Structure 1
Amino acid sequence: MALGMKMTSPDQMPAMEMPGSKDRPLLTLGPILFNWAAERWRDFYFRIADEAPVDVVYVGEVVCAKRQPFIAPMLPDVIARLQQSGKTVVLSTLALSMTRREIDQMREIANNGEFLVEANDIAALSLLAGRDHIVGPSINSYNEGTIAVLQKKGAIRIALPAELSGNAIRQLAAAGVPLEIQVFGRAPLAISARCYHARAENLHKDGCRFVCERDLDGLAVETLDGASFLAVNGLQTLSHGCLNLASHVADLRSAGVRHFRLSPHDVDMVAVAGLYRDLLDGRAEPQQLADTLPKIPDGAAFIDGFYRGINGAAVARA
């Protein structure tokens, strides 16, 4: 990911959150997790810049380093377009770095000097120590002790893993560091050095032919009994169901959560953002979102089991 060029001019917004009431809930858009064609990737962000009522946008490759060269040429234009629309840009790192080159790319992102960085790998946390940064959901921020250490090292916000329950989130919110919770999209569950997509096509990871680009929302996985189970995305394992925590937003806000994350899918994300913005601003009820939210393909149901402390795949209640 080439970051050597200067991507902003002095009169553009710096890498900080937009001013406003500290109590105003902020809507964020996580990084695209899937292998979309570079032009689709760019055009998605252009539309988000022009039309989506989100406050913070994360950009960067999180899952597979082999995808980075395709989006790198588009990155400066995407960032400029997002900034021109008044959105805060955050750079996201890989969730798993396995080579010297990948570590060097991570170091370049960490040292960019212009943007906040979301660390999704322990190595990134080391590189960012002592500087303001965001801890991504790939880091296991599960308890108050971990939160305290991360905050001491410079974390100004922590995006919690999707599998935490509402009770756990409320306890961690009491630690005082701002939290970010994913409220829409397939939940990222694990990442591996092995490429599941390549293996599904009897290919080796190094000769994968980028088969993951065929599945814009991930490849659905079934149990031997034919039940929907998970989804795979290259090296990444995701939930099959799509998180929809609309009915829990009020509870999260009362706990002090201010940042609510949407994870991009190949659906009308401008519509998704508009619905959640209306919910956060009190212009819509959770039931309206349940009735009108765009659904991702593969028969993926809306789920909220993790939040309720039960089976994560449990269908969400309106």
Structure 2
Amino acid sequence: MPDAPAVLTLGPVLFHWPAAALRDFYFRIADEAPVETVHLGEVVCSKRLPFFAPHLPEVIERLQAAGKEVVLSSLALVMDKREAASMAELCGDAEPFLVEANDMAAVGLLAGRPHAVGPFVNVYNEATLAWLKSNGAVRVCLPVELPESSIRTLAAVENVALELMVWGRLPLALSARCYHARAHGRRKDDCRFACGEDPDGMDVTTLDGEPFLTVNGIQTMSHSCVSLAHRLEELRAVGVRRFRLSPQSCDMVAVAHVFRALLDRALDAEEAEARLAALFPTAPLSNGFLFGREGVLHVRPG
């Protein structure tokens, strides 16, 4: 039913922001952003974890006091025993919080318990989605490259809530190596947190000097910023109920207000995209994947 309640969620911060700035970001989200669910946790690089850990209890308390649901997101790439132990601890001791599994190891650890599945897990067909549901998944954020035709097919699987990333730079790939460190002439083990120098990731350009991709530590992202503002109604109609904003260093409270107005049908898509482009002017808007096209394209529906 297209008029069923639509939930606006804030995905985990994928970048390495200063811990105090990240704390203040979440405080403002708690106090001012019209989002129902907020994801916390380090998804990209475990070396960043200790910086924010001391602030986590007060951030959770502030978000819950504001009526937000808190979800704890797991690492998307586990590469050593220390990270495996951290993953096991998160999945074993997270109650009463829902955990979002971004790696199949976490999916296995959460088997038999209600949990969420993040966009880093490949869910490309209804058989995979049905299996994840049988394993305990109650909601699944679909991979960012899926076309609308596939989303429609997946929405036919009952009793699992579908979520879709509708704004932010797209997470495309992860690597065991850290190109961000290498670009600064450093090794991964002695990176000196090069990724912290680029709050929205480091641009990668072609030989002609055109922005192409964005690097965030071990993660490769789109240079463009996805915006599915023009297709929210159609996505609701096929059964998507949860809409994810991926944080960038711009005014995310204002971004959330734009999408809340769209979901409440208080703002049209053209005006919404004009506002979004002004809020994050360093990255062009794109939506090509949803239309089965190159992801970098900005397709005008109709």
- The TM-score bracket by the shorter chain reads over 0.9
- Within 5 A, what are the aligned runs for 1:148-297? 148-176=130-158, 177-293=160-276, 294-296=278-280
Q: CA deviation at 1:107?
A: 1.2
- Displacement after TM superposition at 1:92 (Å): 0.3
> Per-residue deviation at 1:295?
4.0
The answer on whether the counterparts of 2:174 and 2:219 sit within 8 Å (CA) in structure 1 is yes
Aligned match for 1:110, one of 91, 103, 115: 91
Deviation, 1:113, is 1.7
Partner SS, residue 174 of structure 1:
coil
8 Å contact from structure 2 (residues 9, 243) kept in 1? yes
- The answer on 1:144 being equivalent to 2:120 is no
Query: Displacement, 1:296?
Result: 3.1
Cα distance in 2 between the residues matched to 1:142 and 1:50: 36
Aligned partner of 1:90 in structure 2 is 71
Query: Partner of 1:150: helix, strand, or coil?
Result: helix
Following superposition of structure 1 onto structure 2, how do residues 57-96 of structure 1 map, counting pairs within 5 Å?
57-96=38-77
Question: In 1, distance between residues paired with 2:103 and 2:208?
Answer: 35
Report the Cα offset of residue 51 of structure 1.
0.2
CA offsets per residue over residues 132-188 of structure 1, 9 Å max, x none? 000000000111111011011000010001111111111111112211000000010
Unaligned runs of 5+ in 2: none
SS of 1:221 mapped into structure 2: strand
* TM-score, scaled to structure 2: 0.96
User: Where does structure 1 differ by over 6 angstroms across 4 or more consecutive aligned residues?
Assistant: none
Q: Deviations over 1:77-121 (max 9, x none)?
A: 110000000000000000001111111111111122210000001
Query: Matched residue of 2:258: which SS?
Result: helix
TM-score (norm 1): 0.91
8 Å CA contact retained: 1:302, 1:316: no
Letter of the 1:40 partner, please give it.
A
Distance in structure 1 (CA, Å) of the matches to 2:207 and 2:105:
37
Say if 1:304 and 1:312, in contact at 8 Å, map to a contact too.
Answer: yes
Question: For the aligned residues, what is the CA RMSD?
Answer: 1.3
Query: CA shift at 1:196, angstroms?
Result: 1.1
Distance 2:279 2:118 in 1: 25
Aligned residues between the structures? 297
Q: How far, CA to CA, are the matches of 1:68 and 1:288 in structure 2?
A: 38
* More displaced 10-residue stretch of structure 1: 34-43 or 101-110: 101-110
SS in 2 for 1:76: helix
Picking from 123, 132, 137, the partner of 2:105 is: 123
Calculate percent identity across the aligned residue pairs.
Answer: 55
